[in-house]
Amino acid sequence: MTMIQDPKLLADTLNAEFGAMTPLDRLKSLREKVKGRIVFTTSLGLEDQMLTHLIFANNLKIDVVTLDTGRLFPETYDVWRETEEKYGKRIHAKYPQAEALENLIEEQGIDGFYYAKEFRLNCCGVRKIEPLGRALEGATAWVTGLRGDQSQNRLGMAFASYETQKKLIKANPLLDLSRERIAHFCDDHGVPINALHAKGFLSIGCAPCTRAIQPGEPERAGRWWWEDDTKRECGLHVPDKTTVSEGAGI
């Protein structure tokens, strides 16, 4: 097989191919075609647990990494432990830089994110964005558990794209799957699931910034619920305006 060297062209090729593939075949194709280190970042939520199962159960050479912000739910740590025990593999962790975190809390308080969106974004920057940068150091591809129907912002994402700022391919193997389909898969395969999902927490992040949703609310309504902005993101998945292959892959 001829390897495509241009990462932008490779991203376009993967994006075109993924539509006809299963999530497992998408991961296998990504691993086969992309040289170098591939990183999957997991929040240990439902979608990410499906991908972790596919990677670990099939011994795919993809690093599984989580961003431990220091403010996660106890249930999230529980499913982290249960997952490592089930598969006998390690989920690697990246933590905030101590000095940056100390300065953040000194400047805006322990829960300053409730008082201004700027403070919330500062917190996400220290606890998530900077650690993500270290998690992706040296990687040629980044796998995420994004679904297109989670939000309007994510609806326009592609199966695979080249991120010019991060200089890597970003792959979304579950982009066209529904939450129900993923839940059935996890149930059928005995995948460890965060206990918070059964309590109305469909999207799980840091404990102080996540609540259970009410009937009829959008899936991500429980994230940073005190903000008026309907396109609430922490910054991990804000579209790169110079990204190649920005069309929806669904």
Return d(Cα 67, Cα 127) in angstroms, integer.
8
Return d(Cα 145, Cα 239) in angstroms, integer.
15
SS3 5: coil
Let me know if 234 is a catalytic residue.
yes
Number of Cβ within 10 Å of residue 35's Cβ equals 12
Helix axis angle for 46-57 and 179-188, nearest 10°, is 50
DSSP code string of 99-123: HHHHHHHHHH-TTGGGT-HHHHHHH
Ligand-binding annotation for 123, yes or no, is yes
Reference 175, options 197, 202, 201, 156; nearest CA is 156
Active-site residue (options: 139, 182, 234, 244):
234
Ligand-binding annotation for 186, yes or no, is no
The residues, any chain, with a CB within 8 Å of residue 203's CB and separated by 6 or more, are 45, 150, 210, 219, 220, 222, 223
E strand intervals along 25-113:
37-42, 63-67, 92-94
Q: Residues forming the annotated binding site for [4Fe-4S] cluster?
A: 123-124, 206, 209
Active-site residue list: 234
